[in-house]
Chain A
Protein backbone atom coordinates (compact mmCIF):
# COMPACT_ATOMS: atom_id res chain seq x y z
CA UNK A 1 0.00 0.00 0.00
CA UNK A 2 1.33 3.41 -0.94
CA UNK A 3 1.82 5.85 1.89
CA UNK A 4 -0.16 8.54 0.07
CA UNK A 5 -2.97 7.76 -2.37
CA UNK A 6 -4.20 10.32 -4.86
CA UNK A 7 -6.50 9.91 -7.83
CA UNK A 8 -4.44 10.91 -10.89
CA UNK A 9 -7.53 12.11 -12.77
CA UNK A 10 -7.45 13.79 -15.19
CA UNK A 11 -9.96 16.35 -14.02
CA UNK A 12 -11.51 18.86 -16.42
CA UNK A 13 -13.71 21.72 -15.22
CA UNK A 14 -15.14 24.89 -16.78
CA UNK A 15 -13.70 28.24 -15.79
CA UNK A 16 -15.19 29.53 -12.56
CA UNK A 17 -15.96 26.08 -11.17
CA UNK A 18 -14.72 24.78 -7.83
CA UNK A 19 -11.93 22.24 -8.13
CA UNK A 20 -11.85 19.57 -5.43
CA UNK A 21 -8.74 17.45 -4.94
CA UNK A 22 -8.26 14.71 -2.36
CA UNK A 23 -5.63 12.43 -0.91
CA UNK A 24 -5.57 9.76 1.76
CA UNK A 25 -2.56 8.68 3.76
CA UNK A 26 -1.82 5.61 5.80
CA UNK A 27 0.82 6.65 8.33
CA UNK A 28 -0.66 8.23 11.44
CA UNK A 29 2.78 9.66 12.23
CA UNK A 30 2.43 12.15 9.38
CA UNK A 31 2.02 15.59 10.88
CA UNK A 32 2.59 18.04 8.03
CA UNK A 33 0.55 18.23 4.88
CA UNK A 34 1.34 20.11 1.73
CA UNK A 35 -0.07 20.79 -1.69
CA UNK A 36 2.26 21.50 -4.58
CA UNK A 37 1.40 22.75 -8.03
CA UNK A 38 3.47 21.60 -10.97
CA UNK A 39 3.21 23.04 -14.43
CA UNK A 40 4.31 20.92 -17.36
CA UNK A 41 8.10 20.47 -17.50
CA UNK A 42 8.64 22.56 -14.36
CA UNK A 43 9.52 21.80 -10.77
CA UNK A 44 6.76 21.73 -8.12
CA UNK A 45 5.94 24.93 -6.25
CA UNK A 46 4.50 24.95 -2.75
CA UNK A 47 0.87 26.12 -2.64
CA UNK A 48 -0.34 25.34 0.84
CA UNK A 49 0.85 23.64 3.99
CA UNK A 50 -0.93 22.68 7.19
CA UNK A 51 0.01 20.81 10.31
CA UNK A 52 -3.27 20.40 12.09
CA UNK A 53 -6.78 19.23 11.37
CA UNK A 54 -9.11 21.87 10.02
CA UNK A 55 -9.13 24.36 7.21
CA UNK A 56 -6.57 26.83 5.98
CA UNK A 57 -7.38 29.47 3.39
CA UNK A 58 -5.14 31.45 1.10
CA UNK A 59 -6.97 33.48 -1.50
CA UNK A 60 -8.87 31.12 -3.77
CA UNK A 61 -7.24 28.05 -2.21
CA UNK A 62 -8.45 26.14 0.83
CA UNK A 63 -6.58 23.19 2.31
CA UNK A 64 -8.45 20.83 4.59
CA UNK A 65 -7.05 18.13 6.84
CA UNK A 66 -8.96 15.46 8.74
CA UNK A 67 -6.43 13.49 10.76
CA UNK A 68 -9.06 11.16 12.20
CA UNK A 69 -9.82 9.79 8.74
CA UNK A 70 -6.35 10.50 7.29
CA UNK A 71 -7.85 12.58 4.53
CA UNK A 72 -6.56 15.80 3.01
CA UNK A 73 -8.22 18.04 0.47
CA UNK A 74 -7.54 21.10 -1.63
CA UNK A 75 -10.29 23.30 -3.00
CA UNK A 76 -9.77 25.91 -5.68
CA UNK A 77 -12.56 28.45 -5.97
CA UNK A 78 -13.33 30.47 -9.09
CA UNK A 79 -10.91 28.34 -11.09
CA UNK A 80 -8.99 29.97 -13.93
CA UNK A 81 -7.32 28.51 -17.01
CA UNK A 82 -3.99 29.42 -15.37
CA UNK A 83 -4.82 26.91 -12.63
CA UNK A 84 -4.41 24.11 -15.19
CA UNK A 85 -1.56 22.05 -13.78
CA UNK A 86 -0.78 18.89 -11.87
CA UNK A 87 -1.47 19.12 -8.15
CA UNK A 88 0.54 16.94 -5.81
CA UNK A 89 -0.27 16.28 -2.19
CA UNK A 90 2.63 15.53 0.13
CA UNK A 91 3.04 14.57 3.76
CA UNK A 92 5.84 14.52 6.28
CA UNK A 93 6.37 13.05 9.71
CA UNK A 94 8.25 16.14 10.78
CA UNK A 95 11.53 15.57 9.05
CA UNK A 96 12.56 16.78 5.64
CA UNK A 97 11.58 13.65 3.77
CA UNK A 98 8.29 14.00 1.92
CA UNK A 99 5.89 11.33 0.71
CA UNK A 100 4.05 12.38 -2.44
CA UNK A 101 0.76 11.36 -3.96
CA UNK A 102 0.59 10.46 -7.64
CA UNK A 103 -0.61 13.95 -8.61
CA UNK A 104 -3.92 14.98 -10.18
CA UNK A 105 -3.86 16.68 -13.57
CA UNK A 106 -6.38 19.50 -13.72
CA UNK A 107 -7.56 21.33 -16.83
CA UNK A 108 -9.69 24.46 -16.49
CA UNK A 109 -11.54 25.13 -19.74
CA UNK A 110 -12.03 28.76 -20.77
Chain B
Protein backbone atom coordinates (compact mmCIF):
# COMPACT_ATOMS: atom_id res chain seq x y z
CA UNK B 1 0.00 0.00 0.00
CA UNK B 2 0.83 3.66 -0.21
CA UNK B 3 3.04 5.19 2.46
CA UNK B 4 2.38 8.29 4.52
CA UNK B 5 5.04 9.67 6.82
CA UNK B 6 4.87 12.18 9.65
CA UNK B 7 7.56 14.25 11.24
CA UNK B 8 8.36 14.55 14.06
CA UNK B 9 7.10 11.38 15.69
CA UNK B 10 7.32 12.91 19.14
CA UNK B 11 7.68 16.50 20.27
CA UNK B 12 7.78 18.15 23.66
CA UNK B 13 7.40 21.90 23.87
CA UNK B 14 6.82 24.65 26.38
CA UNK B 15 3.46 26.28 26.79
CA UNK B 16 3.04 29.26 24.48
CA UNK B 17 5.31 28.00 21.71
CA UNK B 18 4.23 26.85 18.25
CA UNK B 19 4.82 23.41 16.85
CA UNK B 20 4.77 22.33 13.21
CA UNK B 21 3.92 18.77 12.19
CA UNK B 22 4.57 17.55 8.65
CA UNK B 23 2.61 14.92 6.77
CA UNK B 24 4.03 13.54 3.54
CA UNK B 25 2.72 11.07 0.98
CA UNK B 26 5.88 9.27 -0.08
CA UNK B 27 4.91 7.38 -3.21
CA UNK B 28 1.69 8.97 -4.37
CA UNK B 29 0.14 12.39 -4.79
CA UNK B 30 -2.51 13.59 -2.38
CA UNK B 31 -4.61 16.63 -3.23
CA UNK B 32 -6.52 15.97 -0.04
CA UNK B 33 -5.20 15.04 3.38
CA UNK B 34 -6.96 14.75 6.69
CA UNK B 35 -5.78 15.69 10.16
CA UNK B 36 -7.03 13.86 13.23
CA UNK B 37 -6.32 14.05 16.91
CA UNK B 38 -6.65 11.15 19.25
CA UNK B 39 -6.76 11.24 23.05
CA UNK B 40 -5.70 8.16 25.06
CA UNK B 41 -8.13 5.25 24.70
CA UNK B 42 -10.37 7.28 22.40
CA UNK B 43 -11.10 7.18 18.71
CA UNK B 44 -9.86 9.49 16.01
CA UNK B 45 -11.48 12.90 15.87
CA UNK B 46 -11.34 14.59 12.49
CA UNK B 47 -9.98 18.11 12.87
CA UNK B 48 -9.76 19.35 9.31
CA UNK B 49 -9.50 18.50 5.65
CA UNK B 50 -6.39 19.84 3.98
CA UNK B 51 -6.74 20.76 0.31
CA UNK B 52 -3.75 21.38 -1.95
CA UNK B 53 -3.70 24.94 -3.18
CA UNK B 54 -6.71 26.10 -1.20
CA UNK B 55 -7.86 26.73 2.35
CA UNK B 56 -8.41 23.89 4.73
CA UNK B 57 -11.89 22.94 5.86
CA UNK B 58 -12.22 22.72 9.63
CA UNK B 59 -14.66 20.60 11.60
CA UNK B 60 -17.06 22.26 13.95
CA UNK B 61 -15.41 23.29 17.19
CA UNK B 62 -11.85 23.29 15.83
CA UNK B 63 -10.17 26.71 16.01
CA UNK B 64 -8.69 27.51 12.62
CA UNK B 65 -6.43 30.18 14.07
CA UNK B 66 -5.08 27.70 16.60
CA UNK B 67 -4.47 24.85 14.20
CA UNK B 68 -3.00 26.28 11.01
CA UNK B 69 -2.96 23.97 8.03
CA UNK B 70 -0.94 24.48 4.88
CA UNK B 71 -1.05 22.12 1.91
CA UNK B 72 1.59 23.61 -0.33
CA UNK B 73 2.26 20.66 -2.59
CA UNK B 74 0.72 17.40 -3.74
CA UNK B 75 2.81 15.46 -1.23
CA UNK B 76 3.04 17.70 1.82
CA UNK B 77 0.60 19.08 4.35
CA UNK B 78 1.63 20.78 7.58
CA UNK B 79 -0.28 21.34 10.79
CA UNK B 80 0.97 24.12 13.05
CA UNK B 81 -0.31 24.23 16.60
CA UNK B 82 0.06 27.88 17.57
CA UNK B 83 0.59 29.04 21.14
CA UNK B 84 0.32 25.49 22.38
CA UNK B 85 -1.08 24.78 25.83
CA UNK B 86 -1.14 21.58 27.90
CA UNK B 87 -4.67 20.80 26.75
CA UNK B 88 -3.32 20.56 23.18
CA UNK B 89 -1.24 17.56 24.21
CA UNK B 90 -2.49 14.70 22.08
CA UNK B 91 -1.66 12.24 19.32
CA UNK B 92 -2.01 13.89 15.91
CA UNK B 93 -2.46 11.67 12.87
CA UNK B 94 -2.77 12.53 9.20
CA UNK B 95 -4.22 10.44 6.42
CA UNK B 96 -4.42 10.64 2.66
CA UNK B 97 -6.42 8.79 0.03
CA UNK B 98 -4.45 7.38 -2.87
CA UNK B 99 -6.01 9.06 -5.90
CA UNK B 100 -4.88 6.20 -8.12
CA UNK B 101 -6.72 3.74 -5.93
CA UNK B 102 -10.26 3.49 -4.68
CA UNK B 103 -11.47 6.64 -2.97
CA UNK B 104 -12.33 5.09 0.34
CA UNK B 105 -8.92 3.49 0.87
CA UNK B 106 -7.02 5.93 3.04
CA UNK B 107 -3.52 5.58 4.34
CA UNK B 108 -2.52 6.88 7.72
CA UNK B 109 0.72 8.30 8.95
CA UNK B 110 2.38 6.88 12.06
CA UNK B 111 1.22 9.82 14.17
CA UNK B 112 2.93 12.59 16.14
CA UNK B 113 2.74 12.66 19.89
CA UNK B 114 2.67 16.23 21.18
CA UNK B 115 3.34 16.97 24.82
CA UNK B 116 3.00 20.58 25.97
CA UNK B 117 4.57 21.35 29.32
Contact = CB atoms under 8 A, between A and B. Distances in A.
Given A43-B93, A44-B93, A46-B1, A97 B46 contact: yes
B108 A96 contact: no
A68 to B, nearest CB: 21
Interface stretch (A11-19, A52-60, A71-79, A98-106): A98-106
Nearest to A33: B104
A96 B104 contact: yes
Contacts of B32: 96
Nearest to B96: A96
Given A97-B34, A97-B46, A32 B104 contact: yes
Contact of B106 (A51, A96, A102): A96
Contact size range, B: 20 to 34
B27 interface: no
Interface in B95-109: 95, 97, 102-109
B75 interface: no
Contacts of B105: 46, 49
A97 B1 CA distance: 19
Given A43-B110, A96-B32, A88 B43 contact: yes
Contact of B43 (A94, A96, A102): A102
Which has the most chain A C-beta neighbours within 10 Å: B103, B105, B106, B113? Answer: B106
A65 interface: no
A88 B1 CA distance: 19
A102 B42 contact: yes
B58 interface: no
11 contacts: A6-B43, A43-B108, A46-B107, A88-B43, A92-B103, A92-B104, A94-B104, A96-B97, A96-B103, A98-B106, A101-B43
